[in-house]
């Protein structure tokens, strides 16, 4: 026999075998025995027989192909409550066109598609790449049944949960009994259509958690949904159906939402060869349904020792002992005795960032705006509260006509909930007790009319700030920086703000503070945080900024889970946005500004993850002809300061360029410059990147969480620009205008020269808690640094 011909025959047989094994359809004259599989056309999804966990029982299921997700993850089970005890199972299409499962030559199927109307003998089953098994009439191509309509514990991308009013089909997710048993478990996720539709997690008939209503962009009780770049979601609520579905922005990603065996709703994504949880519900005490009872508000951000439950204004606990001693708020609240709430001068008190109450007692009118909603509610004595129905469009009215149950607050996200109160309560709410954030003593600000203040500065009244921040409540505290604390607030107009309250021991004096405000009031750019105004009152100095919900850049890029949400496209947009903001400061604004403290914590992110440079406490104004300045007081953050500034006190626009280069390399790698540890000659991230660049392997620094989804040439270009920015000689560093051009265009880049601060650290006494320190870097001593 010709060996070449034999090889060709063998190869042909092998290819035919592969085609057979990889079939994605099951026709009427075919069957699928235990050991056979169907594989979707894109090789992403597999259907076959499996045994879960340590069980020996056999089930027909669908899972992600092992070539895509190495851990077998079953997303649908046919015979979940009727397992097969051996390998005799056979899946086929019967004479009526039903998909049926038999075992041990039985005459009654263990499972069937069981269509109400017979299909046809000319049916075909097909496994789709979206993990949907469909039964199709081959003559008309009409789908007569699909697994998406009969989910087990998973809501997969492009599938639905909810009710089809035309057929009466109600798609419900139900947990497995255990990891070894996919049978119908105790926990279920249902779509409740009453009032404003919500998803509700049950144990049996008991409510455990609810999603909150759809606000046009996300579930009101799941603010995390608006902070990702992986998913899009939509709601359909009309006479034909009330359903929720979600999809993937990047179709190459594997992601699931499921109810697990312990009663948690989990959304997870396959990243770096493992399932990474993006969020879990319920996750904290305030997520538990009715944690604070009727007319109670749950706040998980209270100070240590403070009960998480409080009553809505005008109400008090039904069982004070349960609240104060047992810390049990489920009994709820009742209206203050003697309070009149209808047609007696009552008004509405706003609860900001709220997960609004259970909407089963609510009525939605999409024809009303918020103003009309208020008037309607005020004119009906049974109306207890109202809120905007669709936040993204700014229209629609949701009004509650019963007990307000399961209300909680978030630090950001949520909706404004307006609760009806009597006139006396409303008056008290306008003048709350003023409590200092670090003690229980009462603080009362006097008349501010005698304050020395420059009328040319944008000024905000101290009482408005006190009211907006609830007297600088710990619940409103966002964080603390080098010059004081930052609080979230909401002005009477509804405008959300961030208030930087300078500490009384701050090194920033009143004149320096006023100069900073004058500077910031003249800057307007989409990549700079906007300053609304300031307040100087006796010894108090406060800056009022726009509030940005996604915190700072370091919150994302230095956290493995959150960093995984930033694909390369979003990281590049952040890199470009920061560059444009700096270009505006250096060149395009009316003033020439040197920031002097650019770092990830000083780059804030808005709701769309757009970057905004913040914290201009150390910024300096340059004259048009000025190129550099000198200071004996070096203030900045170790790891981001340029060598000429750290060692000699010289700063210029090139100092900011150096900081930008460090920041860019951190965004690309997901690593901190100062926290980099390596046994090689490098002492920091800059040095490590330089080593890889010289070896021709610079792409090795790219964050492993990016996988292979990034364009190598673009990442390589960003690394090279980053190295150009951190060159030791400031003259060799590019300007921000050159950087923006290089990043936005295909052009030949110059080769970088040796960066600064790249040798192995020999000795370090640098202490971030001191204002004078010394460190041996590049064999030179850094002194007189105010580290932050």
* Of the candidates 422, 423, 401, 740, the residue with the CA atom closest to the CA atom of residue 588: 740
Residue 340 in tokens = 């009149």
Residue 392 in tokens = 């993204």
Q: How many Cα atoms sit within 13 Å of 751 on the Cβ side? A: 6
* Of the candidates 417, 357, 358, the residue with the CA atom closest to the CA atom of residue 391: 417
Residue 777 vs residues 292, 450, 597: alpha-carbon distances, Å: 56, 51, 20
Residue 261 vs residues 179, 249, 258, 550: alpha-carbon distances, Å: 7, 29, 10, 32
Residue 241 in tokens = 């159906």
Catalytic residue among 215, 597, 615, 656: 597
Residue 500 in tokens = 């930087």
How many Å apart are CA 621 and CA 633, to the nearest integer?
16
How many Å apart are CA 646 and CA 527, to the nearest integer?
27
Q: Is 703 a catalytic residue?
A: no
* Of the candidates 421, 90, 358, the residue with the CA atom closest to the CA atom of residue 220: 358
Strand partners, 71: none
Residue 581 in tokens = 């903001």
Q: Is the dihedral of CA 44, 47, 52, 56 positive or negative?
A: negative
Cβ-based neighbours of 182, under 8 Å, separated by 6 or more: 52, 59, 61, 74, 77, 80, 152, 153, 176
Residue 526 in tokens = 């989409």
Would you call the peptide bond into 282 cis, given omega within 30 degrees of 0 as the criterion? yes
Residue 450: how many CB atoms within 10 A of its CB?
A: 9
Residue 719 in tokens = 């690394």
In terms of residues, how long is the chain?
A: 788
Backbone angles phi, psi at 695, to 5 degrees: -85, -10
- Please count the helices (runs of H) and the strands (runs of E) in the chain: 14, 50
Scored b (16 or more CB within 10 A) or e, 651-685 reads bbbbbbbbbbbbbbbbbbbbbbbbebeeeeebbbb
599 among the known binding-site residues? no
How many Å apart are CA 675 and CA 640, to the nearest integer?
12
Q: Which residues are annotated as a binding site for ATP?
A: 500
- Catalytic positions are 597
């Amino acid at each position: 026999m010709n060996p070449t011909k034999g090889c060709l025959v063998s190869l042909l047989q092998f290819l035919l075998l592969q085609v057979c094994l990889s079939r994605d359809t099951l026709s009427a004259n075919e069957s699928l025995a235990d050991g056979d599989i169907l594989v979707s056309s894109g090789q992403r999804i597999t259907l076959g027989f499996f045994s879960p966990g340590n069980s020996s029982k056999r089930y027909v299921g669908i899972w992600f192909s092992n070539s895509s997700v190495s851990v077998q993850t079953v997303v649908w089970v046919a015979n979940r409550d009727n397992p097969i005890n051996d390998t005799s199972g056979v899946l086929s299409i019967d004479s009526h066109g039903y998909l049926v499962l038999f075992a041990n030559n039985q005459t009654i199927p263990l499972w069937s598609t069981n269509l109400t109307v017979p299909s046809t003998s000319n049916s075909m089953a097909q496994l789709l790449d979206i993990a949907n098994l469909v039964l199709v009439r081959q003559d008309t191509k009409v789908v007569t049944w699909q697994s998406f309509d009969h989910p087990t514990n998973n809501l997969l991308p492009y599938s639905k949960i909810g009710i089809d009013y035309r057929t009466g089909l109600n798609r419900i997710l139900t947990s497995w009994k255990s990891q070894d048993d996919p049978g119908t478990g105790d926990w279920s996720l249902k779509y409740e259509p009453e009032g404003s539709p919500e998803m509700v997690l049950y144990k049996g008939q008991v409510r455990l958690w609810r999603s909150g209503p759809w606000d046009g962009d996300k579930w009101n009780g799941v603010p995390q949904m608006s902070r990702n770049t992986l998913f899009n979601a939509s709601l359909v609520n009309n006479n034909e159906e009330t359903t929720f579905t979600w999809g993937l922005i990047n179709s190459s990603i594997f992601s699931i939402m499921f109810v697990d065996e312990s009663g948690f709703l989990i959304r997870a994504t396959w990243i770096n060869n493992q399932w990474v949880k993006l969020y879990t519900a319920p996750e904290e005490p305030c997520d538990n349904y009715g944690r604070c009872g009727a007319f109670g508000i749950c706040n998980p951000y209270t100070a240590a020792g403070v009960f998480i439950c409080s009553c809505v204004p005008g109400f008090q606990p039904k069982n004070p002992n349960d609240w104060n001693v047992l810390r049990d708020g489920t009994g709820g609240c009742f209206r203050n005795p003697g309070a009149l709430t209808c047609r007696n001068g009552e008004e509405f008190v706003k609860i900001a960032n709220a997960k609004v109450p259970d909407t089963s007692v609510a009525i939605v009118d999409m024809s009303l705006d918020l103003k009309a909603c208020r008037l309607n509610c005020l004119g009906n004595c049974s109306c207890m509260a109202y809120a905007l129905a669709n936040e993204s469009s700014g229209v629609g009215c949701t009004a509650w006509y019963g007990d307000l149950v399961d209300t909680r607050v978030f630090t950001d996200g949520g909706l404004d909930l307006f609760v009806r109160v009597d006139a006396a309560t409303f008056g008290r709410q306008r003048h709350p007790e003023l409590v200092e954030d670090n003690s229980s003593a009462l603080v009362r600000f006097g008349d501010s009319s005698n304050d020395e203040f420059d009328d040319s500065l944008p000024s905000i009244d101290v009482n408005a700030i006190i009211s907006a921040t609830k007297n600088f409540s710990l619940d409103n505290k966002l964080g603390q920086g080098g010059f004081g604390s930052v609080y979230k607030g909401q002005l009477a107009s509804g405008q959300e703000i961030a208030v930087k309250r300078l500490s009384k021991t701050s090194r920033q004096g009143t004149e320096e503070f006023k100069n900073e405000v004058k500077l910031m009031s003249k800057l307007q750019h989409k990549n700079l945080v906007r300053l609304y105004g300031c307040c100087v009152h006796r010894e108090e100095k406060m800056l009022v900024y726009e509030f940005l919900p996604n915190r700072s850049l370091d919150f994302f890029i230095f956290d493995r889970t959150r960093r995984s949400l930033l694909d390369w496209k979003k990281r590049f947009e952040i890199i470009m946005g920061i560059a444009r903001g700096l270009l505006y400061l250096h060149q395009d604004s009316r003033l020439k500004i040197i920031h002097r403290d650019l770092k990830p914590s000083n780059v804030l992110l808005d709701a769309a993850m757009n970057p905004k440079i913040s914290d201009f406490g150390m910024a300096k104004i340059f004259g048009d002809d000025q190129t550099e300045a000198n200071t004996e007081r070096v203030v900045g953050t170790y790891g981001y300061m340029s060598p000429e500034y750290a060692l000699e006190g010289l700063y210029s626009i090139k100092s900011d360029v150096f900081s930008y280069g460090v920041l860019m390399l951190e965004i690309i790698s997901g690593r901190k410059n100062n926290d980099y540890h390596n046994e090689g000659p490098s002492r920091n991230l800059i040095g490590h990147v330089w080593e890889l660049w010289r070896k021709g392997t610079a792409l090795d620094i790219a964050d492993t969480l990016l996988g292979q989804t990034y364009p190598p040439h673009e990442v390589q270009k960003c690394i090279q620009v980053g190295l150009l920015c951190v060159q030791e000689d400031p003259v060799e560093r590019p300007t921000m205008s050159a950087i923006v051009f290089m990043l936005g265009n295909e052009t030949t880049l110059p080769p970088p020269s040796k960066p600064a601060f790249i040798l192995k650290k020999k000795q370090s006494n640098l202490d971030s808690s001191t204002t004078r320190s010394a460190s041996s870097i590049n064999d030179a001593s850094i002194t007189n640094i105010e580290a932050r």
